Amino acid sequence: MPTDNLRITRTHPLISPAVLEEELPLTAAASARVADWRSTIQSILAGEDQRLLVIVGPCSVHDPEAAREYAERLATVSAEVAERVFCVMRVYFEKPRTVVGWKGLINDPGLDGTYQINRGLRLARGLLADVAEIGLPAATEFLDTTFGQYYTDLVSWGAIGARTVESQIHRELASGLSMPVGIKNRTDGDVQVAIDAIRAAAHRHLFPSLTKEGAPAILETSGNPDCHLVLRGGRSPNYQAEAVGAAQALLRDAGLADTVMVDCSHANSAKDPERQPETARDVVDQRRAGNRGLKGLMIESHLVGGRQDIGGELRYGQSITDPCLDFETTRALLLELADRIT
């Protein structure tokens, strides 16, 4: 009597990372740009570059064409504020779900439950390549621990989210990523678990994954010294000076730099996108008051503000996950932050 794979209904072939890279290669120019962008972000986090790091863009990508248009618009604003603000575009392909729901462009590019993952991987890599050619660094969250092999060469900043911050495999993954990684506090607001994750990710690890050729392998890492804390709120906001100061004290107690980024969305805005500018201004004012450990912000923004549900005809450029700030308001905010920052 069989005892294995009793609930597996079908096995689907999966493209290998090496084949996808052959189809959509990283150009020499894009490679040089990504290396330079990562170095810039490292310098900002280390305090060598005094600019404000801003990770800005859609909550998640569901329409690559709208995302490309967003990138083109953001690139123009980024050039305007470049002396004081360093913009990185959110290009998020995976969506963690509390129970069930749309899991993101890679898992379900058709938004219809057909789960054409190979197509989703091609769309994801192609979009990241286009964003690099447009001239913008890209940020993404790492949720599935194997997907990164398909496109990390095009990512300048990574994130470990609030739902996976306690996961050992995600801490191991972060230890081997080639870019700076922001690690968020837990959904209930617990900051210590994120600090534990930062410490863990700085160490050597060995864990099973895939090679570029798609073969199973044990990857050995050297540790990632560029992981840092992202405050995203919890049961209450945690972007105000008292909460930021408490988080920085915990970092120092752990022997870490007091480097902090603030996510202006999620619990820090009660998921009301119109409150994100208020949060951003507060953080910049804290910097102006002398808190140099505050290095950056995250802003959820799309071409059209708000959100919509999947089903029927979708409005172009509007989020289907968390509600976002519209682009014109985002542009005005970035210009304002550049004027306020010191």
In tens, the pLDDT along 242-278 reads: 999 999 999 999 999 999 999 999 999 999 999 999 9
Domain assignment of residue 323, given as a range? 17-340
What is residue 2's predicted lDDT score, i.e. its pLDDT? 87
Domains in the chain: how many in total?
Answer: 1
AA letter at 109: P
pLDDT tens figures, 281-331: 999 999 999 999 999 999 999 999 999 999 889 999 999 999 999 999 999
The beta strand positions in 110-234, using DSSP E, are 138-141, 157-160, 181-184, 206-210, 216-220, 227-231
Does residue 96 belong to any structural domain of this protein? yes
Distance separating alpha carbons of residues 265 and 272, to the nearest angstrom = 8
The pLDDT assigned to 97 comes to 74
Domain-located, residue 8: no
pLDDT of residue 98 exceeding 80: no
Rounded to the nearest 5°, which phi and psi values hold at 111? 60, 25
pTM of the predicted model as reported, rounded to 2 decimal places: 0.96
- The number of beta carbons lying within 10 Å of the beta carbon of residue 76 is 11
CATH number at residue 303: 3.20.20.70
Q: How confident is the model at residue 227 (pLDDT cuts 50, 70, 90)?
A: very high
Query: Has residue 165 been placed in a domain?
Result: yes
User: Residue 197: which of 119, 251, 278, 134 has the closest Cα?
Assistant: 251
Query: For residue 159, what are the CA distances in angstroms to 1, 53, 226, 307, 337?
Result: 44, 14, 11, 22, 23
Q: What is the pLDDT of residues 103-151, one digit of tens each?
A: 999 999 999 999 999 999 999 999 999 999 999 999 999 999 999 999 9
197 part of a folded domain: yes
Q: Of 93, 118, 91, 116, give the one whose Cα is nearest residue 104.
A: 93
